[in-house]
C-alpha cells in the first residue's frame, strides 16, 4: 500500500506557492508517495497537477458534495459534505503533512496535525502574517526538493 | 478522473457475500471504476482484493486513526478517526452505492444514501432479518455481474 | 447532570406525528429528561415546543451553520455545519432514542442507533412505507405516554 | 433562545487559566449567555463550574462516546464520538469564541474560528510558546471581565 503525504495550502495561492506545490507533486509522485489534499484550486490544484504529470496519485477530499467541484488533475475526488471540517480529514490522512503558505485555514490544519503528533513540514511560510502565526514546531524547508528529501530520510518506505 | 462506486457491507460476511464482493471488485475494476469502501474485513476486504487482482483502485476510509488497520488489498487506506460516522463518508463518496448483506451498519448506510438521493443496488440481501429492514427503493440484483451491468447502463462514463 | 433522550423524526411530519412529538416533549420535560433533536421543523419543532411549554430543555443540533435556522422553541440551537452527518450526532447524544415516523432520514438514524447498541423506541411508524423499513429491533409503542413509561422503567435516574 | 459563547482551552490548564475560566463562566451566566465547551477538565471544567454556580448553562461536546466522561459541572454532556474533530463543533457553536491558554489544540480551534469569520477573544495567552503561535487577529484582553464587557458591547442581545 502506498504511503500517504498530506499537502495543505490556500486556494488563493501566490505564483511562488503554486510552483512550490507543483514541484512537490512531481517529486512526491516520483518518490512513490500518494498525496491527499483538499481537492480545490491554488496549492491543491498545483500539487495534483504535478502528481498527475508524473503518473502519481492525488486524492482530493472535497468540502462539498459534488465531485465535479474538485480540480481537474485529481486522481479521485471524494466529496465529504463536511465543509471546513474536511480539513481535519486531509491532515489525518497523511503520515506526514506538508504546508505551503500561511492562511488561517492552513494554520488550523497545521495546529490540528500537531495535536495529532504528526510531523509538519512548512514551505514558503515566510510572509509577515504567517511568520507570526505558524507554530515553532513546524519543520521549515526552503523548497519542495528539501521537503521530499526530509520525508525520505524520516519516513521509511514509500 | 475515474468515477467512484461505493461498496458497503459487513466485516463479518458470509462466504456467499464475500464471493459476491470479490467478483464485484474484479468487475468494477475491469469496467474502469474506482471503489471506495470502509477498508476493513469481510465484504470490504473482498471487494478490495478483487479490485487489486484486476489492477483496479480501491480506497478504504477507515473508522480509526491507524492506516495499518485497513485490509491488505487497499490501494490506499485513509484513516478518518470518525468511528461509525465514517460510514456516511463512504456512502457520499460514490456516484452509486452497492450494498452486500444486511446488518444494521449496512442498513444505516443504505438509508443515508437514499436520503442523499443516490441510487443503491443491493446484492444478496435476502436473509430473513435484512429482508425485513432493507428499504423498498433499493435496486435488487442477484449477482455482481448484474450490478455492474446496471451501473454501466445507468451511469454514463466510467 | 440531566439524562438526554434523543428524539428523531421528519420535518415534513403528519398532524398525528406532530401531536405525538409535542406530547412527548411535554412528558419528557416533566420527567426531568433533556431532549436533543435535529432542531428543524415538524417532529423536531413539536418536541421542542412541548418541552418549552413544560419548562424543559431541548437542544437542536442543526445541519447548517446558522443558529437562526433552528425552530423557535429550542432552548439552544447548535449549528454543526455537517449537513446530513449531524443526524449521527443527534442519535449518539441520547442514552435512549425515540423515533417518530418513517422517512429514510429517520431510518438511517434508527439503524445508526442500533449499530451503537442504543435502545430505540418507535412511535407511529405504521405507514405502509415505514412498516416495511423500520428494523425489527425497534421497541414499538403506541403513544408518547407509553414511550416515557418505557424509558422510566428501563433508564434509571433522569 | 439564549445566545451561545464558545469557550476553548486546555485540559491541563494552569491555576491562572483555571481561575480566568471559572470567572468567565460566572460572568457569562450572569449576562444571560449559554456556554458551549469541550466538556473535559481544566479550562473546560472551570468555565462549566463558574456557570453552574451562577445558575447558568454550559453544554459540553465530548470527544468520546461516554457521557460520563464529561466534567461534573456541565448542564448537559453531549458525546460526539468524533475525537479531535469535535473541536470544530465547539467553535462553530458559538456566536463568539473565547480562548484561554495556548496549546496546539486551542490554536487549531482559534484558527478554525477565524476561517469561519468568527470573533475570537484571547485571555492569558502570553506564555512564550503561545505568544509565538496565537494569530494577530485575536482580540486580546486581560481578564474575564474585559472579555464579557467586549461581548456585551459587540454582540447585541444575550
Q: Mutation test of the interface with chain D: which of A112, A118, A132, A134, choosing the one with the most D Cβ atoms within 10 A?
A: A112
Phi, psi of D44 (to 5 degrees): -70, -40
**Grid coordinates 441510487 are at which residue?**
B119
What's the rounded mean pLDDT across residues A32-46?
97
SS3 content of chain A, % helix, strand, coil (to 5): 45, 20, 35
DSSP state of B155: S
Question: Which is nearest to D132 in space by CA: D87, D102, D110?
Answer: D102
pLDDT at A125 exceeding the cut of 90: no
A111 and D114 within 8 Å at the Cβ level: the answer is: no
Residues 6+ apart with CB under 8 A from D117: none
> Burial, D156: exposed, middle or buried (Cβ in 10 Å; 0-12, 13-18, 19+)?
exposed
Over 80: is that where the pLDDT of C123 sits?
Answer: yes
Chains that touch A (3 or more CB pairs under 8 A): B, C, D
Cα–Cα distances (Å) from B15 to A94, B144, D37, in that order, read 34, 14, 47
DSSP per-residue string spanning D77-131: EEE---GGGHHHHHHHH-SEEEEES--HHHHHHHHHHHHTT-EEEEES--SHHHH
Reported as a single tens digit per residue, the pLDDT across C22-75 is: 999 999 999 999 999 999 999 999 999 999 999 999 999 999 999 999 999 999
**Partner-chain residue, chosen from B87, B103, B132, that has the shortest CB–CB distance to C136:** B132
Contacting D with CB below 8 Å, chain B residues are 65, 81-85
**Residue D129: per-residue pLDDT:** 47
What distance, in Å, lies between the first and last C-alpha atoms of chain B?
Answer: 9
DSSP annotation of A125 reads -
Asked if residue D125 has pLDDT above 70, the reply is no
Instruction: Specify the fold of B4-151.
Output: Rossmann fold (3.40.50)
How far apart CA D68 and CA D90 sit, in angstroms, is 18
pTM reported for the whole predicted model: 0.92
Q: Is pLDDT of B158 > 50? A: no
The conformation of residue D138, written as its DSSP 8-state character, comes to S
| Of D52, D34, D35, D43, nearest in space to D16 by CA | D43
Residues of A with CB under 8 A from a CB of B: 1-2, 4, 34, 36, 57, 59, 65, 67, 70, 72, 74-82, 89, 92-93, 95, 116
Residue A2 CB burial class (10 angstroms; 0-12, 13-18, ≥19): middle
Residue A149 neighbours by CB under 8 Å, 6+ apart: none
Tell me which DSSP letter residue B69 carries.
G
Tell me how close the Cα of C108 comes to any Cα of chain B, in angstroms. 4
Amino acid at each position: 500500500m502506498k504511503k500517504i503525504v498530506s499537502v495543505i495550502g490556500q486556494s488563493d495561492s501566490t505564483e511562488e506557492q503554486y510552483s512550490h506545490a507543483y514541484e512537490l507533486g512531481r517529486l512526491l509522485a516520483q518518490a512513490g508517495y500518494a498525496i491527499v489534499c483538499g481537492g480545490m484550486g491554488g496549492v491543491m490544484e498545483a500539487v495534483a497537477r504535478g502528481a498527475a504529470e508524473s503518473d502519481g496519485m492525488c486524492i482530493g477530499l472535497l468540502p462539498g458534495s459534488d465531485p465535479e467541484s474538485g480540480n481537474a488533475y485529481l486522481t479521485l475526488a471524494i466529496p465529504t459534505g463536511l465543509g471546513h471540517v474536511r480539513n481535519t480529514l486531509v491532515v489525518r490522512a497523511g503520515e506526514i503533512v506538508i504546508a505551503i503558505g500561511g492562511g488561517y485555514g492552513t494554520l488550523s490544519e497545521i495546529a490540528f496535525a500537531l495535536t495529532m503528533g504528526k510531523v509538519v513540514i512548512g514551505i514558503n511560510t515566510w510572509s509577515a502574517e504567517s511568520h507570526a502565526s505558524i507554530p515553532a514546531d513546524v519543520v521549515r524547508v526552503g523548497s519542495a526538493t528539501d521537503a521530499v528529501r526530509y520525508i525520505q530520510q524520516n519516513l521509511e518506505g514509500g
